[in-house]
Structure 1
Amino acid sequence: MSLHTLDHYTPPPDEGLSLLYADEALLAVDKPAGLLSVPGRGAAFADCLIARVQRQYPEALIVHRLDMATSGILLLARGAAMQRTLSLLFASRVVRKCYSAVLAGRLQGEGRIMLPLGRDWPNRPRQRVDLLAGKSAHTDWQAQDYDRDADCSRVLLWPHTGRTHQLRVHMQALGHPILGDGLYAPAESLAAAPRLLLHASRLQLPHPLTGAALDIACPAPF
C-alpha cells in the first residue's frame, strides 16, 4: 500500500517486540499485519515497525520492507555499516525468502511465474503485469494443501526478485488471488479473510560477519 494513498491508519496495538533473532550485527522481528515498516508522511503515520524497534535498539536500521498488510520476518541492521553489508546481500539475491499464503481456489503441484511487473498508473498504488515495459519478476510456488469446504489452497512462495506487490500480482495473474487482498482480490476472496493472508515465514542468509548459515523461521498465524 502506498503511503500516499492511505485514507486512515490504525496500527495494531504495541504489545512489545516479537524478537526472532538478535546478535551484535542484526535483528529479526515478526512484524504484525497492519503495521507500516517505515513511517509515512505526517504524525498520523509515525507509528511503524522501525520506530518500535528503535525504542529498544536505537541503532537499528531498516534493510528491507514488508507491505503494511503483510506479516512476518523483517530483518534490521545494527548500525550503518551493517546496513550497507546486509543491503548488498539482498541486492545480490543471496538472501532466500519464503512466504506462506492462502489463495482462492484449488492449486496443486508447484510452478514458476516469470511475468514482468510495472506500475498501474491510473490505479495507484496497484501494480500490473506489463509485458512491454515491466521489470522482470520471478516467483516460485508450491502447493501445500487444499481446504475443500472453503475452496482455498495453502501455498509456499519464493520470490527471487523484489518487485512491489510481486507475490500479490503474480498470484492474481495465476488465477488464485491471495485471500483478504484489498488491492487485487475480487470481492468474494477479499471477504474470505479478515486480513491479507500473506506472511514472511522463513529467511535464509549467510551471517554478514561470520558467513555461517542463518535460518530464521516464523510460522504463519493463520
Structure 2
Amino acid sequence: MTIDILFEDGEALVIDKPGGLPIERPRKGGPALEDHLDSLKLGFQRAPVAVHRLDTDTSGCLLLARNPKALKRFARAFEERQVAKRYLGILDGEPGEEEGTVELALSKISSADKGWRMIPARKGKPSLTHWRVVARRGGRTLVEFTPETGRTHQIRVHAASGIGMALLGDPVYGSGKGAPRTMLHAAGLSVTRGNKPPVEATAPLPPDFAALGFGDG
C-alpha cells in the first residue's frame, strides 16, 4: 500500500489516508497507519504523529506533525477551531433540498450487543454541520459537508438523523449495504498557524467513489 503525500514542509505532512486503514492498530491486530510512519520520516529522525482522527473507513486528508512543538500547535488549532475541513460523502438516497445545516448535539452510548455509537441527545456536545448537494446519480447523492465542530462520527450521525438518510455503506447508522465501506472522504483541510502560511491540502476522490458514478467533487 502506498500513501500519497498531499502537503509537506518542516512541520507538517498531510497524507491521503486510504479508506479501510485504521490510524491505531485494532485490538484484533492487522494493518494500521503506524506500519507506514517510518517510511513517512522522509529524512527526519522522528516519525510523524497523527494530529487528529479519521474513522477507519474514511479516506482523505490526515494531518501529521513532524515534531513535538508542531504537534502541540496543531492540536491547539483543532481545539480552537482554527481548522477548515471539507468532506465528500455519498448519501443512500436523494434529499429533497439542495443544501442545509444540521445542528444536533451528540452523545455516546454503548450496549453489550451493539457496542458503542453516537446519538442525538439534548444534553450532548453541540455539533454543527453545513451540507450541499454536489451531484445526484441513480437514487444516490454526492454531498459536500463542512463541519464547524469535530465530534466523533458527527457527519455520519448528522446525515442519518439530520438529513434523514445515512451514508452509503455505513454499517452503524445505515444499512451497511451498497458499498464496501462507509462512503466518506476528507477532501480538503486547511490549518492556520500564526504568521506562517496555513497548512492546506486537497485529496482527490478515490476510485471507489468513481466506481459508484461520482468521479469528481
Amino acid across the alignment from 2:33:
L
Output aligned runs, 1:160-179, within 5 Å.
Answer: 160-173=148-161, 174-179=163-168
Letter aligned with residue 165 of structure 1: H
- What secondary structure is seen at the aligned counterpart in 2 of 1:120? strand
Correspondence for 2:189: 203
Letter in 1 for 2:36: R
- How far, CA to CA, are the matches of 1:50 and 1:220 in structure 2? 23
Contact 2:40-2:47 within 8 A present in 1 as well: no
Deviation sequence 1:169-212 (CA, Å, 0-9, x none): 110002110001011112xxx22112211000000122x37421
Check if 1:94 corresponds to 2:82.
yes
1:119 Cα deviation from its structure 2 partner? 1.1
Counterpart AA for 2:102: I
What is the CA–CA distance in structure 1 between the aligned matches of 2:167 and 2:99, rounded to whole Å?
16
Of 196, 202, 205 in structure 2, the residue corresponding to residue 220 of structure 1 is: 205
Matched residue, 1:113: 102
The aligned counterpart of 2:92 is 104
- The one-letter amino acid paired with 1:194 is P
Cα deviation 1:84-132 (Å, max 9, x = unaligned): 000011111011000000002212321111100011222432111112x
Give structure 2 stretches of 5+ with no counterpart: 210-217
Distance 1:220 1:61, change over 3 A: same
Name which of structure 1's ranges 71-80 and 53-62 shifts more when overlaid on structure 2.
53-62
1:157 and 2:142 are equivalent in the alignment: no
1:49-101 Cα shifts (integer Å, max 9, x gaps): 24412333133112001000111110000011110000011111011000000
Identity %: 33
2:38 counterpart residue number = 54
**Cα separation, 1, equivalents of 2:203 and 2:190:** 12
The residue number in structure 2 matching 1:6 is none
Query: Number of matched residues?
Result: 199
Q: In 1, Cα distance between the equivalents of 2:27 and 2:94?
A: 40
Query: What SS is found at the alignment partner of 1:125?
Result: strand
Q: Aligned residue for 2:129?
A: 139
Secondary structure, aligned partner of 1:90: helix
Structure (1 or 2) with the greater strand fraction:
2
The amino acid that maps onto 1:212 is P
SS in 1 for 2:133: strand
Q: Distance in 2 between matches of 1:41 and 1:105?
A: 34
Q: Decide whether the 8 Å contact of 1:106 with 1:151 is kept in 2.
A: yes
Q: What is the letter of the counterpart of residue 180 of structure 2? A: P
Give unmatched runs, 5+ long, in structure 1: 1-14
* Aligned partners of 2:87 and 2:144 also within 8 Å: yes
Distance, in Å, in 2 between the alignment partners of 1:210 and 1:49 is 31
- The yes-or-no answer on 1:29 pairing with 2:15 is yes
8 Å contact from structure 2 (residues 12, 199) kept in 1: no
Length-normalised TM-score, structure 1: 0.84
